[in-house]
Structure 1
Amino acid sequence: MIVVTGATGNVGRTLVRLLTEAGEPVTAVSRKITESDVPPGVRVLAADLADPAGFRPALDGARALFLLISGDFVSAAGSPADVIGRVLDDARSREVWRVVLLSSQGVATRPGSASHGSTARSIEDAVRRSGMDWTILRPGGFASNAYAWAESIRARRAVDAPFAEVGLPFIDPDDIAEVAALALREDGHAGQVYELTGPAPTTPRQRAEAIGEALGEPIRFTEQTREEARAQMLRFMPEPVVETTLSILGEPTPAEVRISPDVERLLGRAPRTFAEWARRNAAAFR
């Protein structure tokens, strides 16, 4: 049995499908999940990692665990690393021997940021101390971040975004899921940290154009100022997260722009392009 947390998200949903298609028994875990969210035969559990006792039943009979820590992870029971440490202690005591953590590129590139670096680093450290065979995945930005534009594209075929000409190698979440499935199912990945990026940097303007091409209709792009973007993001994100996100989008470090070879080395093919992601998900923008 393989336990997948975050099973209804952009990575987890595909990961559950891939594991099921490979014949693996899967327990899919999310805060809100029903059997209609997963392929037939998948066991489901509505639970939250912030409540280790509630999560514990997911571990019964499991041999591997995919661990996704959501950005809004909050627990009254201690720091995120302490809570995850207790989850991992429970897993090890039930003879779960493999864990794959979805972390963040920011651990290496933004170590001083609590939202993007230091908290994720503390969780990585808890995984390393777990006594289990661990693998850590550090993706950069997700292609699916473009879903934030879905409403404006559907309503007025328009995108408003800052830093129009700054490119980043966003990764297709399905590529992350494929790497995770490999690390969960196969030997040879213990103690490895994989950095996951797309095949080339794309700018916000280029991503909007790719969505327009997928729809067969032009998308009007308007470049926001940093302050305009900041005001918009503050409506749904805490200020420290907004500031770090804007720094990544507007002034990325050389490491955040660099193309990692890990996806191609592990999967035997180049990472999917943003245009491929846009074509596959065009319905979300119609």
Structure 2
Amino acid sequence: MIAVTGATGNIGRTLVTTLAAGGAKVIAISRGDKEIQVPDGVEHRTADLGDLGSLSTALAGADTLFLLITGAQLVSGPDPDEVLATAAAAGVRKVVFLSSQGAATRPGSDAYARTLAFENALARTDLEWTVLRPSGFFTNTYAWIEPVRTRRTVPAPFGDVGLPVVDPADIAAVAAAALTEPGHAGRTYTLTGPAVITPREQTAALSAALGEPLHFHELTRAEARTGMLRFMPESVADHTLTILGEPTGAEQQVSGDIAAVLGRPATDYATWATRTAAAYR
């Protein structure tokens, strides 16, 4: 049985559906602070990674785990060795961990210290593990929904700085492969989109998907930071802005790992914008 943490998120929700459609027995785990609808046959359990007792209970019967840390867990919480020991004691033998590209490109950063600590803790265990290191998500542009709907405007910083951002559905597809197929043990995959794209170019792609013009409004770093602090820790916001505005060469490099695992190219932003255009109308 496969347990999926973060089951209400952009990746976890799609992963649960993908695994269930493939015939896997799935436990969808969430903190219980959002409404969740799961496919037939999927069991929903409530747990918080900050509470190892609740995690142990939620993992009962699972031998495989998709592990995602988010929010406050990105900077604090139980020791990663304890989290993994709890999973192993519950019967888990395989873990696919959602890390971040920043764990490799900025290993000295406080924002990625805990993520990297989980990677290192996994390597010390006897568990079968796979690490996924995605770049930024296409779905980060869901932050544009309200201004696009109400003002036909896209507000974003660093309008002409590009990154190879990625479709969360592609991340979920790679995770599903690593969870259910052989050949991924001990592997670390860097997951990016098929090309570098700037916020201004994303605006153009979204405009084309909607069939109407959109205005790009470039935010200052300070303005963007204020918005980010509404939903992420300060250190994560600051380092995210550094990546967005001053990416390293490695952070702008397109990876072929999605194509290698899935046997198809990574999804481009224009395709994603067409698929999700209704959300912006």
Percentage of pairs with the same residue: 54
Post-superposition offset of 1:80: 3.6
Q: Which residue of 2 aligns with 1:148?
A: 143
Residue 87 of structure 1, CA deviation:
2.8
Please say if residues 133 and 190 of structure 2, whose CA atoms lie closer than 8 Å, have aligned partners that are also in contact: yes
Unmatched segments (≥5 aa) in structure 2: none
172-181 vs 125-134, which moves further: 125-134
Q: Which residue, 256, 259, 280 being the options, matches 1:261?
A: 256
Contact 1:169 1:199 in 2 (8 A): yes
- Residue of structure 2 equivalent to 1:189: 184
- Structure-2 change in CA distance of 1:226 and 1:103 (3 Å): same
Letter aligned with residue 108 of structure 2: G
- Mark the CA change 1:233 to 1:44 in structure 2 (over 3 Å): closer, same or farther: closer
Cα contact 1:105–1:139 (8 A) shared by 2: yes
Query: Residue 4 of structure 1 contacts residue 26 of structure 1 at CA under 8 Å; is this kept in 2?
Result: yes
Aligned to 1:94: 90
Paired residue secondary structure (1:44): strand
Q: CA shift at 1:190, angstroms?
A: 0.8
User: Structure 1 pair 119/91, CA: closer, same or farther in 2 (3 Å)?
Assistant: closer
Q: Report if aligned partners of 2:11, 2:169 keep a CA contact under 8 Å in 1.
A: yes
8 Å CA contact 1:35–1:44 kept in 2: the answer is no
Deviations 1:212-270 (A, max 9, x none): 21111111111223333334434544432232111111110000000011000110011
1:9 aligns with 2:5: no
**1:18 matched to which residue of 2?**
18
Contact 1:144 1:172 in 2 (8 A): yes
Structure 2 CA distance for aligned equivalents of residues 96 and 272 of structure 1: 32
Shift of residue 10 of structure 1? Answer: 0.3
- The 1:237/1:61 distance shift into structure 2, 3 A limit, reads closer
The worse-fitting range, judged by mean Cα deviation, of 230-239 and 26-35 is: 230-239
Superposition CA RMSD, Å: 1.8
- Cross-structure match for 1:52: 52
**How far off is 1:60 after superposition?**
1.6
Q: For residues 266 and 74 of structure 1, what CA distance do their matches in structure 2 show?
A: 27
Secondary structure (helix, strand or coil) at the match of 1:100 reads: strand
Are 2:219 and 1:224 aligned?
yes
Give CA-to-partner distance per residue, 1:144-183, whole Å, 9 cap, x none. Answer: 0001111111111101111111110000000000000000
Structure 2 Cα separation of the partners of residues 231 and 69 of structure 1? 23
The AA in structure 2 aligned to 1:154 is: R
Moved more, 1-10 or 89-98: 89-98
Distance 2:220 2:153 in 1: 16
Q: Are positions 1:118 and 2:113 aligned together?
A: yes
| SS of equivalent residue, structure 1 residue 160 | strand
Letter in 1 for 2:279: A
Following the alignment from structure 1 to structure 2, what is the Cα–Cα distance between the partners of residues 183 and 194?
10
Name the structure 1 match of 2:66: 66
Match of 2:276 in 1: 281
Deviation of the 1:35 alpha carbon: 8.4
- Deviation at 1:33? 6.7
Whether contact under 8 Å (2:95, 2:130) holds in the other structure is yes
C-alpha distance 275-74 of structure 1, shift in aligned 2 (>3 A): closer
Between 1:46-55 and 1:3-12, the stretch displaced more is 46-55
* TM-score, structure 2 normalization: 0.94
Contact between 1:81 and 1:123, CA under 8 Å: does it hold in 2? no
Indicate conservation of the 8 Å contact 2:28/2:44, yes or no: yes
Match of 1:137 among 132, 136, 140: 132
Superposed CA deviations along residues 57-81 of structure 1, whole A, max 9, x for unmatched, are 2222211000000132279xxx546
CA distance in 2, matches of 1:234, 1:92: 35
